[in-house]
Amino acid sequence: MNTNTLNLLENRLDSANVQKLKALENPSLLDFVADFIELCNPKEVFVRTDSSSDAEYIRKKALEFGEERKLGLPGHSLHFDSFFDQGRDKKATQYLLPKGKSLGHYGNSIDRQGGLEEIRTQLKDIMKDKLMFIAFFCLGPLHSDFSILAVQITDSAYVAHSEDILYRPGYEEFKNKKSPSFFRFVHSAGELESNVSKNIDSRRVYIDLEESTVYSVNTQYAGNTVGLKKLALRLAINKASKEGWLAEHMFVMGINDEGGKKAYFCGAYPSMCGKTSTAMIQGESIIGDDIAYLWANNGKAAAANVERGIFGIIKDVNSKDDAILFKSLSQPGEVIFSNILVDKHLKPYWIGKDAELPSSGINFAGEWFPGKTDECGEEIPPSHKNARYTIRLSALENVDPKLEDSRGVEVEGIIYGGRDSDTSCPVEEAFSWQHGIITKAAILESETTAATLGQEGVRVFNPMSNIDFLSIPLGKYLDMNLDFGRKVEKPPFIFSVNYFLRDKHKGFLNDMEDKRVWLKWMRLRVDRAVSSLATPTGLIPRYEDLKALFKKVLGKDYFKKDYIEQFTLRVPENLAKIKRVGNIYAGAQNIPQVLFEELKKQEERLIECQKKFGDYVSPDMFKEETA
């Protein structure tokens, strides 16, 4: 630490907070902190250690500043974002790249030097009348070689409070490791009006990969401001590409066999495809619902949840379909609700909650009543469709005991799930790691719904459900995933699931609870406890095995006609998908040749099957593969 840094800290901070920083004995960290204290020019600075008193100080400030409001149950609070600040701003989220460097078609970027000058200009004196919070966190379990240290600078008590719920404390980890390598996040909500960010038109989220730093300004929505979430995922993907591990948009969960023996699975699903509902499935255990780090550990694939909490969409969470989560959200404990409706009794209400709709209340648009419209004449719903809850996983009764294991958990299966009305069967296993990465993960698509985008059935290309967060070229990312399977002696089995197969007359061919059966079949497969049927696209269940599982797991009959409808191979649709996605990759740069080769092999198998059996092939036509 240079003399200027020490002088600045001693001049701007009280002695207690200066000592908190000096105790870390980390010159790189202190130089970073001093730079932004000088630039943002806060009225006061608070340094958060891992102590419970420091955590309580931040919770109280969130209420004192009006960023949160108390609700009826102890520990529950409510946060509102601006009416126009209700989601991740993809357009304003940009990578700062040096001249001549590109991330390819999917990397939204600007010139690094110009971006840094702009964001530092915006941050100049932005906290002059505010309290700056400096907080330290750990991405991943404590005392783990694969966790990443992070520091958050913010003027939002709500952001600091949210991160305290979502992430492990990192002050003592910084003190012990004294590493110059850490992720850095700088945020300011900017000028406030009625306690929400006023200058939304100047909202910026800039990601500097060279310095592992994220800047966000003039925004409060957590997806833009809680830096350790998807913004940190971008930094982690870049770091992982240099170090030979994976940072993925995946849940981690435990699935039990009949005897109660657990196997751990990861799963990647685009939005609205059943990711959180799968991770929270009845009878199984959850380690995480959103982001996982995967690495090779003694010849096996290991994974850990980056987070210790959930920042989840609350729409349609109810006591019937989400019993465990609903119970935790309905009892005393530390929970932040955002952009929902609160009635005069300080009870929260959201779309899809199985409770009576209040006749009036306050929501993200102010005073609310049924039929209230916005300036365009559109009816304002009681809660925003992207309304959220923030809660610790430890508050859930199905949390897995290995959540905090510094070694992670051994991953035996990886699931890729999309929203697909007419092509993929409900569950299928890949032939190999390479086949799975290419034909299950790299060609993953999700159909839009009329409720969200106004046009139903538009297929969105989203390989590994991670396309929005790639901080490296797509071809390099595919190589990373393919290489990972070579680093372990027994790669995890790869599966695909599709909960949204439809018939134009009958509607959905799966019930919501059927996913419990698909999970149990996958659990049997990782132990090779049941055999399968080999199709041109992968391995599917035998009817006899599913019939037994439906009775055992759900207590209901499973009829052969339903099995045939669900698992009929739809050759034209599968061929169309290969062509559609193949064209996307053909237009991208430096895509590994093995992708085109694997897709070609699958195409040839499908065409050969089509010649023998026609366009739509009953599962009865396929041969059994022994377990």
Tens of pLDDT, residues 479-489: 999 999 999 99
Confidence at residue 194, expressed as pLDDT on a 0 to 100 scale: 82
d(CA 396, CA 389): 13
Higher pLDDT, residue 452 or 238: 238
Residue with tokens 């929400």: 196
- The conformation of residue 530, written as its DSSP 8-state character, comes to S
pLDDT of residue 454: 47
Q: Kindly write down the DSSP assignment for every residue of 520-531, as one continuous string.
A: HHHHHHHTT-S-
Whole-model pTM over 0.85: yes
Quick check: 453 pLDDT over 50? no
Say yes or no to pLDDT of 407 above 70: yes
Q: At 202, is the secondary structure helix, strand, or coil?
A: helix
Reference 225, options 175, 185, 176, 263; nearest CA is: 185
442-466: b (≥16 Cβ within 10 Å) or e: bbbbbbbeeeeeeeeeebeebbbbb
Task: Kindly state the average pLDDT of the residues 135-151.
Answer: 96
State the pLDDT at residue 84.
75
Catalytic residue, chosen from 40, 138, 266, 273, is: 273
Q: Which domains does the chain have, with CATH numbers?
A: 3-65+90-228 (3.40.449.10), 247-308+403-625 (3.90.228.20), 311-395 (2.170.8.10)
| Average pLDDT over every residue of 603-621 | 98
Q: What is the pLDDT of residues 9-65, one digit of tens each?
A: 999 999 999 999 999 999 999 999 999 999 999 999 999 999 999 999 999 999 999
Q: Are strands 196-197 and 192-193 parallel, antiparallel or unpaired?
A: antiparallel
What is the predicted pLDDT for the residue at 1?
Answer: 59
Predicted confidence band of residue 456 (pLDDT cuts 50, 70, 90): low
When pLDDT is cut at 50, 70 and 90, the band that residue 102 belongs to is confident
pLDDT at 455: 58
Residue 345: per-residue pLDDT: 94
- How many CB atoms within 10 Å of residue 612? 9
| Average pLDDT for the chain | 94
Is the per-residue pLDDT at 90 higher than 90?
no
The answer to whether 609 is a known catalytic residue is no
Examine the pLDDT at 362 and tell me if it is beyond 90.
yes
- Return left, alpha or beta for 346; rule: phi > 0 is left, psi -120 to 50 is alpha, else beta: left
Residue 615 pLDDT greater than 60, yes or no: yes
Burial (CB < 10 A; 0-12, 13-18, 19+), residue 229, is: buried
- Looking at residue 451, its pLDDT comes to 39
State the residue for tokens 């059994």. 624
Token pair recorded at residue 34: 């001093």
Mean pLDDT of 275-300: 94
Write the DSSP symbol of residue 626. Answer: P
**Residue 594's closest CA among 433, 354, 408?**
433
Band the pLDDT of 450: cuts 50, 70, 90: very low
Helix (H, G, I), strand (E, B) or coil at 361: strand
Residue 452: pLDDT above 50?
Answer: no
Does the structure show a pLDDT above 70 at 231?
A: yes
Q: Could you write out the DSSP letters of every residue in 566-593? A: HH-EEHHHHHHHHHHHHHHHHTSSS--H
Checking if the pLDDT of 424 tops 90, the result is yes
Contact (CB, 8 A) for 393 and 399? yes
Question: What's the count of helices (H) and strands (E) in the chain, helices before strands?
Answer: 19, 38
